[in-house]
Structure 1
């Protein structure tokens, strides 16, 4: 019998730290490329999940799908049912500022949203979810030590991917410093706060809403290597001296 309606894993199948890719193919690639002693713990609805080890530390991966509602379900169940304590999103985003270039990393400090989900939970309050400060500082430090092009600051999350006013709808958050937009970070930070868990979102910029540039889908797996390596080092509290500059750990 499944432990939840969306997951066939048993209690104890997940590590306390879980990386959250949106795409099941990316989840599978991360498991094969970076982890040792890997086993698949969930295939329900194609939301692939794996548990293995990175530099000797237990790490799990769980696919979240696209958008806030999908991520919120999996994050809630990981924290409530499976005992996860740290969730790190490794996803994609669109640049909202001219200096946020393609292929750079955005480490989200906080995330605004156009979603109605939080309004159902907080009434008259506009809740402002944010990253765990410890993880945020560690990610910023390691990214600098690793020589990665990265930006740290506020982001936005939107429920609408295809919108007739591509950039104008972000005028308010852009004027107040939003660096990039995705669809999941706000939900991740909100659910983590509800459970007193640690959360961080690290995204690779795959298109720019300002310059109308984008990356090719065929190169995206290669683009994610730096992001995933950074997230894994943050998750395991590795130092830059421990991180090998060459190929990913297998």
Structure 2
């Protein structure tokens, strides 16, 4: 019992040391993590399942990769990213999630490669001693993902997104119109925190997002499609992971 406790570093992840690959793909939905593991990885094994936040490790084209859910929101991804980076030897985390599109040129099922992540949250101000931290992606991951998207013929956009604390924001369309004016491509709830954790710990992070709904046109995918599709984004993240 005592020996097992020494091998399990956190109350949030019950994997053992060495169970995670250096690169982790991180969707918000743990069932999407399971979908990726079962449909894209080989020699897969589940390595964690605390609170049903499923994590798996396998191989893709011969390279060891892991995939694990993050849950919704910046507090949740901050916990998992911090522990993976600081305790499990993970070097890179790529969030693979969904976003609400804001620009007319951003269409349903397009992939957004988040060069930066603005936020209305104070999460990174706490890390940056009250200042405004520029939450940006690791350049190597960013450049590689753009190259791979072009090679794969995936319709994509590169630019700024925004990570919000509130899904149901009382400011409503007034807020989204301001984001749109500032050329924000999409809105989601995790990337700014992931970029902040990676910077704090000297690690690498990237956020890839599939447009699952559009704020201004009202188009939207159903929950099953969100869980089991997003194939372009998944392939892009896998090809990026094995290239860096």
Per the shorter chain, which TM-score range? over 0.9
In structure 2, the partner of 1:96 is 102
- Trace 1:71-82 onto structure 2 (pairs within 5 A): 71-82=77-88
- Partners in 2 of 1:193 and 1:173 — Cα distance? 25
Shift of 1:222: 4.8
In structure 2, the partner of 1:146 is 152
In structure 2, the partner of 1:22 is 28
The CA deviation string for residues 58-92 of structure 1, in whole angstroms up to 9 with x for no partner, is 00111100000000000000000001001100100
Matching of residue 121 in structure 1 with residue 127 in structure 2? yes
- Partners in 2 of 1:110 and 1:70 — Cα distance? 20
Shift of 1:42: 0.3
Shift of 1:215: 1.5
Matching of residue 202 in structure 1 with residue 213 in structure 2? no
- Of the three residues 164, 167, 187, the one matched with 2:170 is 164
- Partners in 2 of 1:30 and 1:162 — Cα distance? 29
Q: Which runs of 4+ in 1 moved over 3 A?
A: 170-173
SS in 1 for 2:18: coil
From the two aligned structures, give the one with the greater helix fraction.
2
- Trace 1:1-250 onto structure 2 (pairs within 5 A): 1=5, 2-237=8-243
- Partners in 2 of 1:236 and 1:58 — Cα distance? 9
SS in 2 for 1:167: helix
- Partners in 2 of 1:148 and 1:114 — Cα distance? 30
SS in 1 for 2:172: coil
- Verify the 8 A CA contact 1:139 1:230 in the aligned structure 2: yes
- Verify the 8 A CA contact 2:29 2:227 in the aligned structure 1: no
Aligned length: 238
**Superposition RMSD in Å:** 1.3
- Partners in 2 of 1:61 and 1:29 — Cα distance? 10
- Partners in 1 of 2:201 and 2:130 — Cα distance? 21
- Verify the 8 A CA contact 2:98 2:226 in the aligned structure 1: no
SS in 2 for 1:148: coil
SS in 1 for 2:230: helix
Q: Which runs of 5+ in 1 are unaligned?
A: 239-250
- Verify the 8 A CA contact 2:27 2:70 in the aligned structure 1: yes
